Structure formats: C-alpha cells, structure tokens
Amino acid sequence: MINRTTIIQNLIEQKQAKIYLEIGVSTGNNFLQIRADKKMAVDPQFKIPGGYASDESTNYYEITSDDFFVTQSDILETNGLDVVFVDGLHTYEQSLKDVLNSLEYLNEGGIILMHDCNPSSKASAHPVLSEARQMPGFNNAWMGDVWKAIVYLRSLRSDLSVFVLDCDCGVGIVQKKSPESMLNYSQEAIDNLSYEDLEADRANLLNLKKPDYSIE
C-alpha cells in the first residue's frame, strides 16, 4: 500500500538521501520505520511508547519546530537537509512556516513532504482543533488548513514545484525546481479561501496526482 512512510522511504533510497528531518513525530509511527544515515525528530511532546534516546544517528528535539530552527541553526547549516517531512501543527500558517524554514537548509536535490494536504470534510479541515471537535462529522482525523499552504506555494513561489499525492490524507511534495503550472491567488485571496473553495476545485488547487505518480 502506498502511504507517507513508503513514499518517504522510496525517496530516501531513490535520491540516496542521508539527512532526514521529521517535524511532528507523536508516537513515532512513521519516524521509527524510516531508515536514513542521520534522522532528526522534532516534537514539543513526544509520545513514543517506551520513551526515546538520542544516539549517533538519531537525534530527538523535544521543542517546537520554530525553536528547533532557531536553536539548531549551526548543525542545519553544516549538514543541510535532504528529506523533510512536515507533520507538526496542522495549520496553514505553521505548516507554511515549517516549509519555508526547511527550504533555507534544503540541500541540492532535496525534497519536502507535507502531510494532511487533502482534507476529506469541513470538520477535518477546520483550522482550530478544539472547534473542529465540536463540528458535525468530526472523526478525530484533523488535517486543518494545511491545504492552503499548498495554494500559497503554488501561487507565490515560481521557484518551487508543488503537487499533492492523492493518498494518506494527501502527501504534498515540494521541490526547488520550475513548476509545471502555477495558480494566480494573492496572499489576501488565499487567506480568505474556505473549505467550499477547496471542494469546488480540489484537483486543480492541490495539483492532485495519483499515489504512484513518478517523482523525479
């Protein structure tokens, strides 16, 4: 089955990537399965059963992604990043910030993946989790409005190729190269987009691709 973990691992192997960063790790369901020479885990509250300990190849940072980028800038400047999985706070603003910070250190040929880019209901796409929980149809799967970060990058960054694989809640792919197509939204228009706008034009806004789409 194609999911975030198989996509990330295939890319690490395809690109012979060495440095992997995961923002938002929780129980380690994905992180612990990933194999890479150097792995970094960032989460303000790890929930890994049995606990965690850093060693030569794996480092755990129990802080927010914003604090990680401030406090670890030396190591990030030295090693760069090859593959980054952005899956922390599921809001438009924070997921976009995580991508923009990661881009600062992305090595040549590097790739950023974003989870939860294709929400399946208005409740799952609500930007505030506590309010989403009160909405009809909420089933504990919270994707927030990460999808708007995709629209932002596709509208305002002509130096990035951005699309979303249609599997596992939507796996966004961001690479430093010419986009095949762009959107035409201003920052203000993106801020005002609603879930209804996504539903009306989902495939186009997200540049949706089949799960087995070949990533160059």
Ligand X SMILES: C[S@@+](CC[C@H](N)C(=O)[O-])C[C@H]1O[C@@H](n2cnc3c(N)ncnc32)[C@H](O)[C@@H]1O
Task: Give the shortest CB-176-to-ligand X separation in angstroms.
Answer: 23
DSSP per residue over 92-122, as a string?
A: HHHHHHHHHHHHHHEEEEEEEEES--S-SST
Site string for ligand X, 93-122 (x = CB under 6 A): -x----------------------------
Is 29 an interacting residue with respect to ligand X (CB under 6 A)? yes
Instruction: Kindly tell me which residue out of 2, 38, 44, 202 binds ligand X, with binding defined by CB under 6 A.
Output: 44
**First CA to last CA distance, the chain:** 20
Q: State which of positions 56-95 bind ligand X (CB under 6 A).
A: 64-65, 87-89, 94
CB of 28 to ligand X, least distance (A): 7
Cα Rg of the chain, angstroms:
17
Nearer to ligand X, 43 or 166 (CB): 43
Evaluate the CA torsion angle 141, 34, 206, 90 in order and state its sign. positive
The binder of ligand X chosen from 11, 24, 69, 147 (CB under 6 A): 24
Binds ligand X (CB under 6 A): choice among 11, 21, 30, 82: 30
DSSP H stretches of helix in the chain:
4-14, 65-71, 73-79, 92-105, 129-132, 147-156, 187-191, 195-200, 202-206
From CA 54, how far away is CA 39, in angstroms rounded?
10
Q: How far is the CB of 43 from ligand X (least distance, A)?
A: 5
Give contact residues for ligand X (rule: CB under 6 A): 4, 22-26, 29-30, 42-45, 64-65, 87-89, 94
